[in-house]
Amino acid sequence: RGRRRVLLEAALAQARGRRRAAMTGAGLERHLQALAAVANQMRLRPPFLTEVLGQPWALAFSPAPRPHPPLLPHPLRPAG
């Protein structure tokens, strides 16, 4: 039981650190990650995302995940 508590506290400290990093511009914000996921699904490589995502980032998660309906009803396709 003591070891589990130590591991939980370490995980919480790491999550807090990543959240702070994202809030101060040193972590990957979840909306930016969502843009990258959509661009990837559409097989697009915007220069901005390529540059930004090529840097080292820690992903910060929101503190309380909530269920969301699917964002996209079907796979995206590039316009054209």
pLDDT the model gives residue 57 = 66
In a domain, 49, yes or no: yes
Check if the beta carbon of residue 51 is closer than 8 Å to that of residue 60. no
Segment 10-65, tens digit of pLDDT: 888 888 887 777 777 666 666 777 788 888 888 888 887 778 777 776 655 555 55
* In a domain? residue 77: no
Is 30 part of a structural domain of the chain?
yes
33 with 16: CB under 8 angstroms?
Answer: no
- The tally of domains found in the chain comes to 1
Structural domain boundaries enclosing 15:
2-53
pLDDT (0 to 100) of residue 42: 85
pTM equals 0.38
> Which residues does residue 28 pair with via DSSP β-bridges, in sequence order?
59
Say if residues 58 and 23 touch (Cβ distance below 8 Å).
Answer: no
What single DSSP character describes residue 73?
S
Domain assignment present for 79: no
The pLDDT value given to residue 66: 57
